[in-house]
Structure 1
Amino acid sequence: MSSTTAATRFSVLDRSRTRAGRPPGEALRDTVALAREAEALGYHRFWVSEHHGVPGVAGSAPTVLAAAVAAATRTVRVGT
């Protein structure tokens, strides 16, 4: 009988939340930084939540944010 070990793949979901008194661009930069950190820790996937026009969330186009995350990372898979 052979034994196999299945590796658990972990993911991150980020909403790119804005903070009171801070510019929205900071939230976007924080999302990219989080994606880089998740990649460095070996996470498999980084999800950007769908949030079209939701108050308190930076940006209105998750696909654009996902593209920025993908451009800043090399191995983590990016999705919305």
Structure 2
Amino acid sequence: MSVIPPVQPSVLDTTLIGHTPESAFTDTIAVAQHAERLGYVRYRMAEHHDAPGVGSSAPAITVGAIAAATSRIRVGAGGDMLPNHVPLVAAQ
């Protein structure tokens, strides 16, 4: 008999631009902190370019800020646009 592991809730964020582009960054950090308080296990940043209302064109910067502002949630990039990065960045 196989045991199905419990579902570990995760977030995939695109840093939506709400009121201002400047507030998008602080809003994303607040969402990550809230997700951590709710027991989410992973917080991933998606990478998008030239999409209206989306501010996640540099997930490496956002990931670092979220990791610094949280303590238990695992933070990383959920998807990187490989043509936009040098091989070393893609490999990490």
TM superposition score normalised by structure 2: 0.71
CA contact (8 A) 2:47 2:56 kept: no
User: In 2 relative to 1, CA 52–10 (structure 1 residues): closer, same or farther, beyond 3 Å?
Assistant: same
Q: Which structure: greater helix fraction?
A: 2
Query: Which segments of structure 1 move beyond 6 Å, counting only runs of 4 or more?
Result: none
- Percent identity of paired positions between Structure 1 and Structure 2: 44
CA contact (8 A) 1:45 1:76 kept: yes
Q: For the aligned residues, what is the CA RMSD?
A: 1.9
Confirm or deny that 1:36 pairs with 2:33: yes
Which secondary structure state, in structure 2, belongs to the residue aligned with residue 51 of structure 1?
coil
Q: 5+ unaligned residues in a row in structure 2: which ranges?
A: 78-92
Confirm or deny that 1:61 pairs with 2:58: yes
Which secondary structure state, in structure 1, belongs to the residue aligned with residue 57 of structure 2?
coil
Across the two proteins, how many residue pairs are aligned to each other?
A: 76
TM superposition score normalised by structure 1: 0.81
Distance 2:4 2:12 in 1: 26
CA contact (8 A) 1:24 1:59 kept: no
